[in-house]
Amino acid sequence: MKKILFVTSEVYPLIKTGGLADVSNSLPKALSQTGQDVKLVIPNYHGLKITAPVIERSLFKIGTHTVRLLETMLPDSDVGIWLVDCPEYFDISGNPYVDFAGNAYGNNAERFALFCRAAIEIAMNRAGLDWTADVVHCHDWQTGLVPALLSLEYKCPPTVFTIHNLAYQGLFNGLMAATLQLPSQLLSPDGLEFFSMISFIKGGIAYADKITTVSPTYAQDIQTAELGYGLEGLLVYRNQDLIGIINGIDDDWNPQIDPFIAKNYSVDTLADKKENKKALQTHFNLPVDENILLIGLISRLVEQKGIDMILGCLSEMLTFPIQFVLLGSGDKGFEKQLREFAQANPNKLSLTLGYDEALAHLIEAGADVFLMPSRFEPCGLNQMYSQRYGTLPIVRKTGGLADTVVDTLPSTISDKTATGFVFNEASEGALLETIKRVVMLYGFPEIWHQIQVNAMNVDFSWKSSAEQYIDVYSKI
C-alpha cells in the first residue's frame, strides 16, 4: 500500500472545466480500489460543489499568506480531499483559470505557486496532518512547481508528473522568478527557464522522476516539433522516463444506470436508445425524426478541437440529411459564428452555449454519432463515452483518438472490430468526405447495429490503466 498525494487543479463533481476533472475523480477511485491510500489536494475555490461534510484540519504559513487546510471526501468513494484555502487567491466562483471574458487571471503564477508550495508542505508532513506521501502525483502546469521545488528538499518523496495537455504550459514573465522567490538553482535552461520566461510545466517535465501522458500516441506526438511546443527536445531527452497511459472511464458514464438520460439502455436493449434521440430532438426543438442521422458534439470551443474546421465546412455539411446538436463554450469568435449558423438553420442545427453536465449525458445517449475532429488530442474522453453509449465517434487520427477508435472499413466490419470513423488529414475536405461516408453507412441498419455492438463491448474501464500507474509508482 502506498500513500499517494494526487495534486490537481480540478476534480469532478467539485469543479470541472474539462477531462482533467473526470480523470482526477476516476483515477484516484480506481487506485484506491486496489488498496492504495490516495489523497487529493485541490485549491479551495469559492465555487466548489461540495456535498460531503468539511472539517478544518490545520493552519500554516506560505510566505506572508496564512493557508487553512480543510478536509472533505470525494463523493461515492473513500478518497479524502484536502482543500487549500487561501481566499485572496481562490475566492472565485467561475472558471478557475480565466475570467468571464476568457482572459487568464493576472495573478495565476502567484495563485498556483502558492498551491504547489502548500502541496509540498502536505507531502513532507509539515502541514499538521500526520501523513507523509510515498509518491506525489502531479497534473498539468498548475502543479509543475511541485516536482521542481520538492527536488530541493531533504528526503523528498518521488514524483510523477502527468501531462494532460502540453498546449497549456503556465508561461510567465521571467521577472516572476523573483516575485515567486524561486531558488536560483531552478532557473537554468535545464530547469524552469524557457526563452527568458518561467515555465511551470517545465518544472514537471524536467524534475519529476517519471513523466506520463494520457495516451501512447500522444507520448510520441509531443516528442515532435509539431506538437512539442519547443519542449520536444527535453521530452526526447527524458524519453526513457516518459510513458503514455490511456485514460479510462468509469460508471458516471454508463447508459444502463445514467440518471441524466431519458431511458436507460444496454447493448441488449439498444432499441431503447431511440427514446433518448427523441428526447434530445425535443430538447433542442428539432423535428422529431427517428431516421435522420443526428450528430452530437460536446466540447470546449477552441482550435484544438477542430471547431474552425467544422465552421469552414458547416454550410456544406448542413446540405446533407443530418441534424447537428452542439454543446460548448470557449472562444467568443467561434461562439458567435456557431450562433449565426444555428439561427439560419433552426431545423438542422441547434446550439447550447455554456456548460451543462446533464445535457452532455443526454447528447451522448441520444445522438447517433459524436463528432470530434481534433487537431490534436492528448487522450479525449468523449470518444470513449460515446462508444459506451453506442454513439459512434467520428474522429481525426491523432493522440488518444487514434488509440481508442477503430475505423469502419470492409475488413473491420467483417472482423467486428470497427467502432467508429477515423480520418487522417486535418482538412475540411477530409472531414466532409467522412461525414458523407457516415451518412451513407447509416442507410445500412444491420451493419450500423453491429458497429454499435462492437463499440459498446470495448472495455475502457480504469482497471488496466490504474495498474500501469501503480507500476510506474513502484519503479521510482
329 near ligand ADP, judged by CB under 6 A: yes
Q: Which of 19, 203, 255, 306 binds ligand GLC (CB under 6 A)?
A: 19
Dump the DSSP string for 171-215.
Answer: EEETTHHHHTT--GGG-STTTTEETTEEEHHHHHHHH-SEEEES-
* 336-373 b/e (C-beta count within 10 Å ≥ 16 → b): ebbeebbeeeeebbbbbbeebeebbbbbbbbbbbbbbb
Q: How far is CA 419 from CA 258, 270, 310, 415, in A?
A: 21, 15, 22, 11
Partner interacting with residue 360 (select from ligand ADP, ligand GLC, none; CB below 5-8 Å by kind): ligand ADP
Q: Please state the closest distance from residue 181 (CB atom) to ligand GLC, in A.
A: 30
Q: Cα angle at 336 between 333 and 338, to 5 degrees? A: 110
Report the candidate in 211, 204, 201 with the shortest Cα–Cα distance to residue 239: 211
Q: Please state the closest distance from residue 368 (CB atom) to ligand ADP, in A.
A: 17
Q: Which residue is nearest to ligand ADP (CB)?
A: 19
170 near ligand ADP, judged by CB under 6 A: no
Give the footprint of ligand ADP on residues 418-447 (CB under 6 A): none
In this structure, what C-alpha cell is assigned to residue 236?
A: 526526447
Q: Which residue is nearest to ligand GLC (CB)?
A: 19
7 near ligand GLC, judged by CB under 6 A: no
DSSP helix/strand/coil, 362:
helix
328 near ligand ADP, judged by CB under 6 A: yes
Q: Please state the closest distance from residue 350 (CB atom) to ligand GLC, in A.
A: 25
Q: Which of 39, 137, 164, 396 binds ligand GLC (CB under 6 A)?
A: 164
Give the footprint of ligand ADP on residues 261-300 (CB under 6 A): 298-300
251 near ligand ADP, judged by CB under 6 A: no
Q: Which of 148, 295, 379, 441 binds ligand GLC (CB under 6 A)?
A: 379
Q: Please state the closest distance from residue 393 (CB atom) to ligand ADP, in A.
A: 11
Q: Which of 2, 13, 18, 320 binds ligand ADP (CB under 6 A)?
A: 18
In this structure, what C-alpha cell is assigned to residue 34?
A: 486496489
Angle of helix 463-474 relative to helix 19-33, nearest 10 degrees, comes to 80
20 near ligand GLC, judged by CB under 6 A: yes
Torsion of CA 125, 126, 127, 130, to 10 degrees: 40
Q: Please state the closest distance from residue 296 (CB atom) to ligand GLC, in A.
A: 17
Applying CB under 6 A, the span of 112-120, 285-293, 371-379, 450-458 interacting with ligand GLC comes to 371-379
Q: Please state the closest distance from residue 441 (CB atom) to ligand GLC, in A.
A: 26
* Binding residues with ligand ADP: total (CB under 6 A): 18
In this structure, what C-alpha cell is assigned to residue 15?
A: 469543479
- What lies within 8 Å, CB to CB, of 303 at 6+ separation is 331, 375
Report the candidate in 247, 330, 11 with the shortest Cα–Cα distance to residue 143: 11
Give the footprint of ligand ADP on residues 346-375 (CB under 6 A): 355-357, 360
C-alpha to C-alpha distance for 12 and 147, rounded to whole angstroms: 24
Give the footprint of ligand GLC on residues 205-264 (CB under 6 A): 214, 247
Give the footprint of ligand ADP on residues 22-61 (CB under 6 A): 22
Determine the length of the chain.
476
Dump the DSSP string for 1-26.
Answer: --EEEEE-S-BTTTB-SSHHHHHHHH
Q: Which residues sit at the interface with ligand GLC, rule CB under 6 A?
A: 18-20, 23, 164-165, 214, 247, 377-381, 400
